Amino acid sequence: MLSIATTAIATGQDQLPGYAQGAEILHVNTRQDQIDNIGDVVYHQVKNMRSVRQLHMSLLVPRTDKLKPAIIYFPGVGFLTAEHDKFISMRLALAEAGFVVAAAEYRTIPDVFPAPVLDAKTAVRYLRQHASEYGIDPTRIGVLGDSAGGWLAQMLGTTNGDKSFDKGDFPDQSSDVQAVATLYGISDLRSIGEGFPDAIQNVHRSPAATEALLVNGTAFRNFAGASVIDQPEKALYASPIGHLNGAKPPFLIMHGSKDTLVSPEQSANLYNALHKAHDRADYVLVEGAEHGDYRWYQPEVISKVTRWFRQVLGEPVKSQNLSAADPDANL
């Protein structure tokens, strides 16, 4: 077998600038686009009487001269936090597939509904307002969320066209989305523990359950608190299942068969309702998966989500404005 140096001489690669005897010559095929990470973007400021709260998003932007579909990821941790920089493996795979991928924080408890929905719709409008800066095709924006973030992604999809939730910046932009992917999400706040043992059902009947705090707020002064079953009409209005009138964008609904935190019936019920209304819905039950366990970070799941978004939102298309592909052009 020829040595590396002998092979280099035989092929003339020893003439490459910087060559030294014993150097390994590596040929690189340029088939993967560079991806820029743009972090700590303030997409909205929530102004109160004595304070201003900034809401942030981070973006993964493929550096290409094409207009790209965009996906906004909303994280979920029981309506308690919105740590938007998690799920990097999924987000990076989507960016490598050609999507601009934003990850957005939003208000959580003690803020109450509809605050998270208002924030999420503002995030969509922000991307449309700044589409040329990030090389985004504003006609193709999808959303992705897990758990409570799945609830939020579902709320955006089911309230397409409902202007009552459009409050905040960029009012001239649409907050409608063209695709929704939800992982072990919540579709009905009234029945998160459906089919679970009585002990778990009792937790969800408590005024201290996070879904109750989201809908009704915390106990304060003359208000002793209320559960979702005390005011079911409010809980229904705060649920995706309560907004099923009208045409919906395509949905990818995924749930784990062994989920013990959010009942798999949540996803089955949403799928059945969308299917009955003749809206496009694809349902994937991940056998043996628990709520947010390691199975959700495996290539099979990530590839399924990526392929589905590419099928629904399509490929990037050639841009007539090359500056739109440079994320630094207008920042």
Q: pLDDT tens digits for 245-292?
A: 999 999 999 999 999 999 999 999 999 999 999 999 999 999 999 999
Give the phi and the psi of residue 305 in degrees, each rounded to 5. -65, -45
Tokens for 279?
């809206």
Are 60 and 54 in contact by the 8 Å Cβ rule? The answer is no
Residue bearing the bigger pLDDT, 152 or 317 = 152
Model pTM score: 0.90
Model confidence band, residue 316 (pLDDT cutoffs 50, 70, 90): confident
- Give 222-251 pLDDT, tens digit per residue: 898 999 999 999 999 999 999 999 999 999
- Give 97-137 pLDDT, tens digit per residue: 999 999 999 999 999 999 999 999 999 999 999 999 999 99
Least confident range from 194-198, 205-209, 294-298, 326-330: namely 326-330
Start-to-end C-alpha separation, the chain: 53
Which residues, including other chains, have CB under 8 Å from residue 223's CB and lie 6 or more apart? 217
CA dihedral sign, ordered 57, 83, 157, 313: positive
Amino acid at 101: V
Provide the total of helices (H) and of strands (E) in the chain, helices listed first: 10, 9
Confidence at residue 328, expressed as pLDDT on a 0 to 100 scale: 42
**pLDDT, mean of residues 34-59:** 95
Quote the DSSP letter at residue 246: S
Residue bearing the bigger pLDDT, 3 or 217 = 217
Residue bearing the bigger pLDDT, 184 or 12 = 184
What is the set of domains in the chain, with CATH numbers? 1-31 (no CATH), 35-188+239-325 (3.40.50.1820)
